[in-house]
Chain A
């Protein structure tokens, strides 16, 4: 049968106004069901990956992809850093290194507020080489960089200065009072949006020399950041690094431990929770889609029933069994294409709105980020579409086979 005739027969049956419009209504309803199922699956995927990707990209932007550190907060020295640099150079995929100091301190600004902060002292040049900080900060600043929420809390802006006090070298007197002996005043060079609430409200980035002075750690580091070459897999490079470092440190020289891990594994629980949540939601929405498909198959059965006589007449006029199946499959694919198309279009529109004029705001102290981005994955969309079309074709096949199993006379007999 020619395609045009097939499409004609299939589509006119679907849009049939006769039989008191029931067929048309049922077609529209089942298409809407599929559209809703498809749209909710796609949007779930889009927002969950948008959320996860943006948290992980903000996390990774401000940190080196791999970290080497000694367990138990033991400090590292220049010799350790050289060893680590040597190991990193020998492993494909690992990049340069950037030793840094990161410790808790207390900050105060113009309004008498005091805030607990994390001070990270870095060498700007090597830090820029292993992290994405350059993209956030621009040229290396000549002073401290504060997260925007922290700056607001301390009522400081660029050009002001903050005082940083370390509790590190406090001594406890007999009276039990802590005496802080290091207070340093630094100019605020930048106030910066790191994208993550955790950093915006508590991170102070400085030149490493200043952190050395603040924490009294001349020539020593708390950890070493290691870069990753583009395309390298962080987890496997981290695993190789860890193995090599153990050989180097435990067995060969120092008789102590040195660990290496991918930065994001520090947040493994978070990502695992995301994964679980996503799985649960996917199951629920997948079930919605299955319900929509069942609804479609009953709609197709009904349409086939309503047009039972027409199918009998077509067979009497010489439509082959393949044509009858062809009509049904065409109907199934028309409904699938309309449903999938509408669902995808809806998802795309929501994504476009969320990315432009109607951003979805989040409470950043709860969700870490303040705008929820949507990231539709074309591969996932294609998989959903393929599944839906296959299921629609299957659903349309059964009524057709059933109507073929009776002789045409049954269908054309006068009721």
Chain B
């Protein structure tokens, strides 16, 4: 794996929250490299900073210090417009709760990143329909998020994360509120998508089984990252 180019990396990332006496240091110097096509699981107890790390890797939040590079670009060295472009072209997000837009159908939700990338409606619809097919949601494409089950929503969220063929998909507890069966399905899905599309996945999870399916497992505790034997 290590000969593959890095699609995402961070160096010396620290992050703390709060002010004065109540400062909590969540991340205390994180170095991490994600290669093309690998699945990395980040585990750790609740409150250990997994979501914080994913947000920083996804340049949704600036680190207090350290560098985040996406496909070789230092994300915080340039402006918000450039970061928006980086997120659109290189990153996909699957949030713990699906975070689909309620006012749009599953197909439209899946199309959104492609439309934001400036693709035509027809092109975006084609891409989205293919992905919904892959996650077995074709019959649900014209339904609104409120009309489908939790597992279906999460699968739609995965399809949405993939529509622009990003280098990395960041998934924060994607199975967190799914039952074991749906969780297992989602895991298989991500694994197969990783194979067919060559995306890297960074998955924050409590789930032993989800972590077990990863190429690498990293453990976050006390604000530091350590490799775990798989």
Contact = CB atoms under 8 A, between A and B. Distances in A.
**Shortest Cβ-Cβ A-B pairs, 4 listed:** A318-B88, A409-B61, A12-B103, A409-B60
A5 B103 CA distance: 13
B102 A18 contact: yes
A315 B80 CA distance: 10
Contact of B80 (A15, A314, A321, A414): A321
Interface string A1-37: 1101100000011011110000000000000000000
A13 B103 contact: yes
Interface in B70-111: 80-81, 84-89, 91, 93, 95-97, 99, 101-104
Given A2-B115, A318-B117, 6 more contacts: A2-B118, A310-B102, A316-B91, A319-B84, A320-B81, A321-B84
A408 interface: yes
A5 B121 CA distance: 9
30 contacts: A1-B116, A16-B102, A17-B103, A18-B102, A310-B102, A312-B60, A313-B101, A314-B101, A315-B60, A316-B60, A317-B87, A317-B113, A317-B116, A318-B84, A318-B85, A318-B88, A318-B116, A318-B164, A320-B80, A320-B81, A320-B85, A323-B116, A404-B80, A407-B62, A408-B60, A408-B61, A410-B61, A412-B55, A412-B60, A414-B96
The listed residue with most A CB atoms (<10 A of its CB), out of B112, B118, B121, B146, is B112
Contact of B121 (A1, A4, A15): A4
Contacts of A404: 80
B205 interface: no
A18 B61 contact: no
B58 interface: yes
Contacts of B154: none
A414 B98 CA distance: 10
B69 interface: no
Interface string B167-193: 000000000000000000000000000
B103 to A, nearest CB: 4
B99 A309 contact: yes
B51 interface: yes
Contacts of A1: 116
Contacts of B113: 317-318
A166 B101 CA distance: 88
A16 B96 CA distance: 23
B87 A316 contact: yes
A314 B51 contact: no
A383 to B, nearest CB: 35
Given A2-B118, A5-B116, A310 B101 contact: yes
Contact of B95 (A318, A323, A412): A412
A413 interface: yes
The listed residue with most B CB atoms (<10 A of its CB), out of A309, A310, A313, is A313
Contacts of B95: 313, 412, 414
Contacts of B112: 314, 317
A5 B102 CA distance: 16
A313 B99 contact: yes
Contact of B146 (A15, A18, A309, A412): A18
Contacts of B97: 414
Contact of B87 (A4, A310, A315): A315
Interface of A: 1-2, 4-5, 12-13, 15-18, 309-310, 312-323, 404, 407-410, 412-414
A18 B88 contact: no
Contact of A322 (B55, B81, B104): B81
Main secondary structure of the interface of A (DSSP, over half): helix
B93 A316 contact: yes
Interface string B138-172: 00000000100000000000001000100000000
A309 B60 CA distance: 13
A310 B95 CA distance: 12
A413 B84 contact: no
Contact of B116 (A12, A310, A314): A314
Contacts of A322: 81
B116 A319 contact: yes
Given A16-B103, A313-B99, A414-B96, A320 B62 contact: no
B60 A407 contact: yes
A5 B115 contact: yes
Contacts of A317: 87-88, 93, 112-113, 116, 160
Nearest to A316: B93
The listed residue with most A CB atoms (<10 A of its CB), out of B91, B95, B121, is B95
A15 B103 CA distance: 9
A407 B102 contact: no
Contacts of B85: 318, 320
B180 to A, nearest CB: 21
Contacts of B146: 18
A335 B12 CA distance: 48
B15 to A, nearest CB: 10
Contacts of A409: 55, 60-61
Contacts of A320: 80-81, 84-85
Contacts of A310: 101-102
A318 B60 contact: no
Contacts of A313: 93, 95, 99, 101
Contacts of B118: 2
A17 B144 CA distance: 12
Nearest to A19: B102
The listed residue with most A CB atoms (<10 A of its CB), out of B61, B62, B91, B164, is B61
A12 B89 contact: no
